[in-house]
């Protein structure tokens, strides 16, 4: 299945070939964690992950066409 990934701010440098957002091919039943690993996003780095505009955990199972957005925790404004 295919999901769309947008990496923001400090994670933007992980985008393949500078393409951002980009599509990822995952096995059916793949999770947010699988997508992050496939996108080479550093696992230890604190991050906020959204799937289709809602907050997601790394264990969330993804579906065809899901849109992931990943950004670092921000200190505020």
Partner 1 sequence: MMFGWTGRVLWVDLSSGRTAERSLDPEVARRYIGGRGLGVRHLLDHVDPRTDPLGPGNDLVMATGPLTGTAAPTGARYMVMTRSPLTGAVTCSNSGGQFPAALKKAGWDAVVFQGRASEPVYLWVDGQRAELRSAAHLWGKNVPETDAALRAETDPAARTAVIGPAGEAGVLFASIMNDRHRAAGRSGVGAVMGAKNLKGVAVRGTGRVALADGKRFRSLVTRYIRGFKKSFGDGPVPLREWGTAVTVIGTQNFGVFPTRNFQTGRFEGWEKIDGRMLTEKYLVQARACFACPIACGRGTRVPDGPYAGQGEGPEYETVYALGSDCGVDDLAAVTRANYVCNETGMDTITMGATIACAMEMSERGIIPEKEVGLGRKLAFGDAAALVRLVEMTARQEGFGRLLAKGSLRLARHYGHPEYAMVSKGQEFAGYDPRGEQGMGLAYATSPIGASHMRGDPAYIELLGVPKQIDPLTWKDKPQIVVDWQDVFCVIDAAGLCVFFSVRNYVRPDETIRPEGICDLLNAATGLDYSVDELCTAGERIFNAERLFLVRAGFSRRDDSLPPRIVSEPLPDGPAEGMVCHLEEMLTDYYRLRGWDADGVPRPEKLSELGLA
Q: Contact residues for partner 1 (CB under 8 A)?
A: 8-10, 45-48, 50, 52-55, 69, 71-77
Instruction: Name the residue nearer to partner 1 (CB basis): 15 or 69.
Output: 69
Instruction: Name the residue nearer to partner 1 (CB basis): 27 or 55.
Output: 55
Q: How far is the CB of 42 from partner 1 (least distance, A)?
A: 8
Instruction: Name the residue nearer to partner 1 (CB basis): 27 or 54.
Output: 54
Residue by residue, DSSP assigns 18-37 as: G-SSEEEE--TT-BHHHHHH
Please name the residues in contact with 66: beta carbons below 8 A apart, sequence gap of 6 or more: 3, 4, 51, 52
């Amino acid at each position: 299945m295919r999901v769309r990934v947008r990496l923001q701010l400090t994670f933007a440098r992980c985008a393949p070939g500078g393409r951002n957002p980009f599509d990822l091919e995952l096995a059916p039943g793949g999770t947010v964690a699988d997508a992050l690993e496939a996108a080479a996003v550093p696992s230890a780095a604190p991050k906020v992950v959204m799937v289709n505009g809602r907050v997601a955990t790394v264990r969330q199972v993804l579906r065809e066409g899901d849109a992931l957005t990943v950004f670092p925790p921000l200190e505020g404004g």
